[in-house]
Structure 1
Amino acid sequence: MPIAARSIRTRFRSLRSPARARLLVVAVAAALTAVFLTPLGAQAARAKESRPVYSYANAIRESVWVDTGLDEDRDGRTDRVAVDIVRPREPAAQGRRVPVIMDASPYYSCCGRGNESQLKTYDAQGDVVQMPLFYDNYFVPRGYAFIGVDLAGTNRSDGCVDIGGPSDVASAKAVVDWLNGRARGYTTRTGTQRAAASWSNGRTGMIGKSWDGTIANGVAATGVEGLKTIVPISSISSWYDYYFAKGAPLYDSGPDWLSNYVESPQAQAHCAAVQQELVDGAPRTGDWTPLWSGRDYAAEAGKVRASVFVVHGMQDLNVRTKNFGQWWDALAAHGVERKIWLSQTGHVDPFDYRRADWVATLHQWFDHYLLGYDNGIERQPMADVERHPDQWSTDRSWPPAGTRDAVLRPLPGAAPGVGGLGTTAAPAGASETFTDDPAVDETGWAAAVDRPTAEKAGFLSKPLTQDLRLSGSSRVTVTATPTTTSAHLSAVLVDLGPDTIRDYAGAGAGILTGTDRTCWGDSTAGDSACYKVTSAAKKAVDYTVFSRGWADLGHYAGGTGRPLTPGTPYTITLDLHATDHVVPAGHRLALIVAGTDRDLIDPPASRPTLTLDLTRTAANLPLVGGVRAFVKATSGTPARVAPALSHPAGVAGPRPATPVPGER
C-alpha cells in the first residue's frame, strides 16, 4: 500500500527522541524502497508515462499451453490453448513482475491481423518471431508483457471454435486465470511439465479488433478477477445481432461457416459435433434460441469489473453499430468506467485512421489501468467523435448532457411516398404504400427520397435553421399491413445535403493505404514496428445515410417468427444503429421506410406490398436538446438551404464481399 507523504510528515513531528527518529527514518526509507520497486506504488502514482527502458531485441519469447478445463474436441483430454509471450527480460532478472496486454484471436494463422494481414511466425524452437501488430514492439520496452492467444480450435490450440460461445470465451478467460495463479499452464501442448506465470503481477488488459475485441467483451462479462481493462474495437456484444436484426438475416451464412473458416486442420477433423450444434442452434429463421442467449454479453454487463474503452466505426456494415450501442448502454446502466471513440469509417482499426493520437491515448490508458499511473486519462473527455474526415470533437459524457428522446412522426405529403416529418400526429386514416424491391438499397432510396418511387416511403423535415445532433440509438415503430405471408422492413435516417465524408463503402472502408511507413516501437529482423501510412478516403456526397435498422415483420411478437396473414396490420419496432451525427443547418433530416435493403439484409420468401398506417408509425430519436431542439431547428427559414437532389451522389456497394468479423 502506498505511503502518503502527509502521514510521513506527521509521524516525524510527533517524535521526541533523536534515536527513535533515526530508527524511524531507516524504517521509512526501507518501506519506500519496497514500495518504489512496484509500479503500483507511490512512484507509480506520481509517474505520468512509462518509458522504453527495456530491450525489445533481448525480450523473452516463449510459448505456454493453458488448460481450459473443457474437452470440446471430445478426444478424452482437456483442451489446451497456445499462449505466445513476449516480455521484457530485465524485470524478471530483478524479481519484478509486470502487467500483461493480451490479444486473443482466431486469426493468427488463417487470415492475419491488421491492415497488412500479419500472421504469427515462429523459430525452430517454436517461439514466436513475428507477433502481429505494434503492441509488443511498443509496450514491451515500456515494461509490459504482450501475449497473443490462439483461440480454441485455431492455430496451435486444442479444442473447437464455437463462435463466441463457452469454448471461445473460456479459452481466453483461462489465460487470465493462469496469469493470476488459478489455472494450469504447460511448456508443451501435450506434456506434463508445468509452466507458472511467476513473472506476471496478474493485472491484465485485453485488446483486439472485431472477433478479438468480441472475446474481450465476453471475458469481461464473466467478471474474471485480474482483468483490469478491455479495449474492444469494432466488436460484437451479442452474436445474434451480428447475424440477424429481429429475425431479418444480415448474412446468407451462419456461425458454422465462420467456424470452419478459421479452424485449424486438426479442429476441422475433430469438431463435427460442435459444427452441428452451430447449425442446429442458429436456424435461418432468425428465431432467438439458447445458442444466442449464451453469446449475449450485453445481458451480462452487470458482471463487468474492468474499465472499457469502446472504439467503433459509425459506418461499420460488418459488425454493425447496434453492437457497440447496446453494450455501451448496458455498461452505463451498471456504472462501468468507460471511454469511447467513434469514427466515420467502416470496419477499420484506429491505428489506420488516427495513428499518432491512438497510440498516445492507448499508452495513457494502459499506463493508468495496468501500471497505476495517475496521468489523468480517466478525467479526459469521455468521447471523441469524428465529424468530418480527420476532424474530431469531444464530449465530457456520451451521449452528451441534454440528450433526450424525441418522438417524430411521418406525415402524408402531396405526392405518394413523399411526406413530411414533424412532431404532430398524422390525420386519421393517413397511409403510405410501397412494394419490396430487393434490387434497390438504402443509397437508391436516399437518392430518390424527394421523388415518388414504388419501393419506399420517404418523410422529410423542413430545412433546418440550426444544427441538429442525434447521439445514441434510435427506434422506429412501424404498423404495416402486408399483402403476402412474409415481409422484411428497413428504416434509415438520412442527412439530405452536401458534405464530404469518408468513403466507408470503398475498398478501404474509409482509408487509403500508402507506401511509406512510420514506426511505433522497436524492431527486430523478424518483427518490424513499421507500418504503411494511411490517409482518409474521401467522397463528396449530396446525402448521407447515417443510421439504419431492419426487421422481419413475422417477428412482431418477439423471438419466434410466424407466417403473416395478408391484409392484417402488424406493429413492430426496428432498432436503429447507434451513431453520433450532426445534421447541419440548411440540410434536411429524412426517415425512409422500405422493404429489403439490398446487400445489407436478405430478402423474404415473397415480394410483398406494404401499407403503413402513419398514425401508428413513429421515430424515437435521441436528440441533443430533445424535441425542443427539433422544433426550433425546423422553425423559420434557414440562412442556407441545401440544393434539390437533381443528380444526387452517395456511396455505393455498402457491404464487403466476404463478411468476416476480423476483416473489412
Structure 2
Amino acid sequence: MMLRLRHDLSTFTNIGIVTFALLNGAMASGAEPTVPVFKDGEAQIVKAFEDPDYWIRHDLWVQTEFDSDGDDKLDRMHVSVTRPRQTESEGLKLPVVYVSSPYFAGTGAKGQEFFWDTRHELGATPPQREHFPPPERKGLRPIISKSHVKEWVPRGYIVVHSSSPGTGLSQGCPTVGGDNESLAPKAVVDWLCGRAHGFTTPDGDEKVVAFWCTGKVGMTGTSYNGTIPLAAATTGVKGLEAIIPVAPNTSYYHYYRSNGLIRHPFGFLGEDIDYLYDFIHSGNETRRDHCDCEVRDKEMLQSLDRETGDYNEFWAGRDYLNDLEPLNAAVLMAHAFNDWNVVPEHSVRIYEALKAKGVPTQAFFHQGGHGGPPPMKMMNRWFTRYLHGIENDVENDPRAWIVREQNERDKPTPYAEYPNPAASPVKFYLSAGAPERGKLATVAAADQGTETLVDNFSFSGASLAQAEWTNHRLIYLTPKFSKPIHLSGTPRITIRVAANKPAANLSIWLVSLPWTENKKTKITDNIITRGWADPQNHLSITEGEPLVPGQFYELSFDLQPDDQVINKGQQIGLMILSSDRDFTLRPTPGTELTVDLDATSITLPIVGGDDAFAKALLQSKEDH
C-alpha cells in the first residue's frame, strides 16, 4: 500500500502518518463510509467531499498505442487526477469526469501578423505566413488544470485532466484532428479502466494504477476541449459511457471552409489549420523540429489547399462525421445558434447522425455566442444516469432544450426534438427591387429577370443589410409580421448565378429588419443565419472548376441551423452578397454577380408551416 501511496498523495508531506490517522479515525468512530448521495435523479454535494484541502492530487503519464513524434517509443500523455480522500482512506471507488485539452500548458502568439494574408485574388497562391515562436509552457505539477473540480468532486466524482499530444508535458506531435488526438484520450480511458499502463515519469517503468475508478468515465469540455470527447468516443473505447461536448469542432473543413469556399472563423480572419498547430504546440521541445517538418510542413501545408478550398482526403480525415460507427457513448450536445466561431452545424450534423444511429442523445442550444455549457441540472442528470447508473429516467426527458430569446441560459424551454417537429419547409421566391429592396413571397412572380451586385469587401454585411440603396448587395424582404414567426431547422437556398470572372465569393445572409443594435456593445439580434459557397464547386465540394464569365450556374446549399422567434413588426430579409469581410478572402472590389431571380428561391423551416406564415402577415398587407 505504501508504494502505491508514495506517488498518489503528493498533497501530503507525511503520507504514512496521514493515511494511518484517516484509517484509524474512521474505525474508531464507527462512522458509516462516505458515499455519493442522490436526490431527484441528481448527485448531491456531499460535505465530506467538499473541502479541497482534503482532495488528493497527483500526476502521471499514460502510455498510448502510437508513436507520433518518430522517436521509436510509444507516446505518453501527461495526466493529472483530483479525487476525494475517501478513495484512499475508505477504499471508495468513484466514476470519472475527464477533460483533455491542448490549451492547458499555454498557447502561442496571437495577432493578425501571424495569420494568412486574405487580401488577394481568388485562386491565387497566397504568400506564406510567418510562424511565431513556440509557446512557453505554463503550469506546475501535479496540477494540469483546476477546471471542473469544484463542480464534480463534491458530487462524488473524480476529475481527471490530460494534455493532448505535443502539448504541455505530453509526448507526441499535435495533429489538429489527426488519429492520435482520438487515440490519446482513448488510452487514458483504457488506463482508468485497467487496460493501459500509467507511469510515474514520462520515461520510467514504475507503474501507477487507477484503483479508485469504477470503470465508468464521462468526458466534457468546450471548443477544442469539447472536440476531444467526441474524438475519444469515435474509437468506441469501453468505459467511456457519456460525453457532453460543448461547441465542439466536429470537422476542420467545416471550421476553415464552406461548400468549397475558403472561410475563416469569426474574429480570426486568415487563420487556418497550420496556425492552430503552431498555437497549441507547447510541448516536446526535443522533437519539435520533427513534428514541424512531418506534420505542419509536409502534411498540413501540402494539403490544406488555400487556392481552391476543395474537400480532400486531408480534410476527410479530420471530419468526425466519418468516424461515428464505433461510437456508443450517450451524447448530450451543447451549442449556440449565434456561434460564428464554431458555427452551429458542427453539433447539429453530429446530433442528426447520432439520432439515426440510435445512441442516447440530447441537445441543448442557446442564443448566445461561442461556448456555454448546459445547465448543471442537465449535466448532472446525464452523468448521474450513465456514470453512477442511477435510473433517473433521463433517457425519456425531452430531447431538445432551447434557451428562448431574452431568457437566462439556465432556463431552457423543452421541446420534443430539434428541429421542432411542428416545423415544415416554406418556399420563398424573389421579386426584383435592386438597387433598393425587392420582395420575398411564397408565391412566385413571373418574369423577374436578373439583378446584379458589385463585390466590395469594404462594406460590412450589417451596413449592407441596413442600406436603403446600394449596388453591393441584393436584398428581398417579406411583409411585416403581425404575429411572431418561429424558425426551427436549417434553411436552404437554391440560386442561379453568373459572374464576370472565373472565381467569386458567394455569401448569403438571412436577417430581420428593422435593424436594432446595442449602442454600447454593438451586438445585434438581426442576423438570423448565414451561409457561404464557392460557385466553382456547384457540382461538388471535392472538385471545383473555373467559372465561364457570364455563364449561369445553379447551386443549392444549406445556411447555418437555427431556432429563433422573429418578433411581431419585423420582416425577414434574404441578402445576397459576394465577399463577406468578416469571413471570406478579400479580392479586389469590382467582381459582378448576376442572379437569375426566376430560378432562385430559399426554403425556411417555419413552425406551423405555410399556415403560420400566412397568419403572421399584417392584415393590411402594407407595402414594404
TM-score, with structure 2 as normaliser: 0.82
Shift of 1:498: 6.0
Report how far residue 482 of structure 1 moved: 0.6
1:417/1:432 contact within 8 Å kept: no
The one-letter code matched in structure 1 to 2:422 is G
Aligned position for 2:133 = none
Give the secondary structure class of the aligned counterpart of 2:66: coil
C-alpha contact 1:65 1:187 (8 A) present in aligned 2? yes
- Corresponding position of 1:101: 97
For 1:393 and 1:46, how far apart are their aligned partners in 2? 19
Q: Does the 8 Å CA contact 1:100/1:147 hold for their aligned counterparts?
A: yes
302-311 vs 470-479, which moves further: 302-311
Q: Distance in 1 between matches of 2:470 and 2:557?
A: 22
**Structure 2 partner of 1:226:** 239
1:283 correspondence with 2:301: no
Structure 1 CA distance for aligned equivalents of residues 393 and 57 of structure 2: 33
CA deviation after TM superposition for structure 1 residue 607, in Å: 4.1
Which one of the candidate residues 443, 454, 478 is aligned to 2:471? Answer: 454
Corresponding residue of 2:337? 314
Structure 1 partner of 2:428: 408
Q: Does 1:332 align with 2:355?
A: yes
Root mean square deviation, CA, Å: 2.7
After alignment, is 424-433 or 182-191 more displaced?
Answer: 424-433
SS of 2:363's equivalent?
Answer: strand
Q: How is 1:490-509 mapped onto 2 (pairs within 5 angstroms)?
A: 490-497=507-514
Deviation at 1:611, TM superposition (A): 0.8
Does the 8 Å CA contact 2:454/2:591 hold for their aligned counterparts? yes
Task: Pick one of 406, 414, 421 that aligns with 1:395.
Answer: 414
User: 1:240 corresponds to which residue?
Assistant: 253
CA gap of 1:612–1:498, structure 2 versus 1, over 3 A, is closer
309-318 vs 77-86, greater mean Cα deviation: 309-318
In structure 2, C-alpha distance between the alignment counterparts of 1:540 and 1:182, rounded to whole Å: 50
State the match for 1:146 in structure 2.
159
Q: Could you say what secondary structure the match of 1:292 adopts?
A: helix
Alignment of 1:595-614 (within 5 A): 595-604=578-587, 607-614=590-597
Kindly indicate whether residue 491 of structure 2 is the aligned counterpart of residue 474 of structure 1: yes
In the alignment, structure 1 residue 636 sits paired with structure 2 residue 619: yes
Tell me, yes or no, if structure 1 residue 88 matches structure 2 residue 90.
no
Deviation at 1:621, TM superposition (A): 1.6
Distance (whole Å) between structure 2 residues aligned to residue 335 and residue 622 of structure 1? 24
CA shift, 1:604, in A, is 4.8
Q: Is the 8 Å Cα contact of residues 48 and 374 (structure 1) preserved in structure 2?
A: no
Provide the rounded CA distance (Å) in 2 between the counterparts of 1:236 and 1:366. Answer: 22
How far apart in 2 are the matches of 1:248 and 1:65?
A: 41
Q: Deviations over 1:560-608 (max 9, x none)?
A: 2221110111112232111211111211111111101112122357742
1:131 to 145, 150, 162: 145
C-alpha contact (below 8 Å) 1:45/1:373 kept by paired residues: no
Q: Contact between 2:41 and 2:384, CA under 8 Å: does it hold in 1?
A: no
CA distance in 1, matches of 2:588, 2:237: 44
Deviations 1:592-635 (A, max 9, x none): 11101112122357742011111221112221112332233236
Aligned partners of 1:574 and 1:604: how far apart in 2?
23
SS of the equivalent of 1:303 reads coil
Distance 1:563 1:263 in 2: 37
| Map 1:157-236 → 2, pairs under 5 A | 157-236=170-249
% identical aligned pairs: 32
Distance 1:625 1:300, change over 3 A: farther
Larger strand share, 1 or 2: 1
| 1:44 positional shift | 6.6
What is the identity, as a one-letter code, of the residue corresponding to 1:575? D
Name the residue aligned to 1:465: 482
**2:600 is matched with which residue?**
617
Cα distance in structure 1, aligned partners of 2:514 and 2:391? 45
Change (3 A) 1:335 1:629: farther
Structure 1 CA distance for aligned equivalents of residues 41 and 397 of structure 2: 17
- Counterpart code for 2:280: V
Uncovered stretches (5+) of structure 2, i.e. residues with no partner? 1-31, 109-136, 265-269
**Secondary structure of 2:387 counterpart:** helix
- Report the equivalent of 1:569: 552
Give the drift of 1:232: 1.2
Q: What is the CA–CA distance in structure 1 between the aligned matches of 2:248 and 2:242, rounded to whole Å?
A: 15
For residues 555-566 of structure 1, the aligned pairs below 5 Å read 555-558=537-540, 559-566=542-549
| Contact preservation (8 Å) 2:430, 2:597 | yes
SS in 2 for 1:201: strand
1:39-78 alignment, distance < 5 Å? 48-52=42-46, 53-54=48-49, 55-78=51-74
- Normalising by structure 1, we get a TM-score of 0.77
The CA distance in 2 between the partners of 1:500 and 1:389, in whole Å, is 18
Offset at residue 461 of structure 1 (A): 0.1
Aligned equivalents of 1:66, 1:141: Cα separation in 2: 26
Displacement of 1:96 in angstroms is 3.1
8 Å contact from structure 1 (residues 491, 591) kept in 2: yes
**Equivalent runs, 1:505-524 vs 2, <5 Å:** none
Contact 1:388 1:500 (C-alpha < 8 Å) held by counterparts: no
How far apart, in 2, do the equivalents of 1:96 and 1:317 lie?
Answer: 44
Q: 1:296 aligns with which of 319, 330, 336?
A: 319
Structure-2 separation of matches of 1:194 and 1:578: 48
Structure 1 residue 331 displacement after superposition: 2.0
Secondary structure at 2:612's aligned position in 1?
helix
Tell me, in whole angstroms, the C-alpha distance in 2 between the residues paired with 1:47 and 1:329.
Answer: 27
Q: Distance in 1 between matches of 2:310 and 2:579?
A: 18
Question: In the superposition, relative to structure 1, how do residues 405 and 299 fare at CA in structure 2: closer, same or farther (>3 Å)?
Answer: farther
Q: Distance in 2 between the 1:37 and 1:229 partners?
A: 27
- Deviations, residues 354-406 of structure 1 (Å, cap 9, x unaligned): xxx83343333322221123445444443132412637551322222211122
Q: Could you say if the C-alpha distance between residues 48 and 237 of structure 1 is closer, same or farther in structure 2, counting changes exceeding 3 Å?
A: closer
Equivalent in the alignment of 1:274? 295
Q: Which residue of 1 aligns with 2:8?
A: none
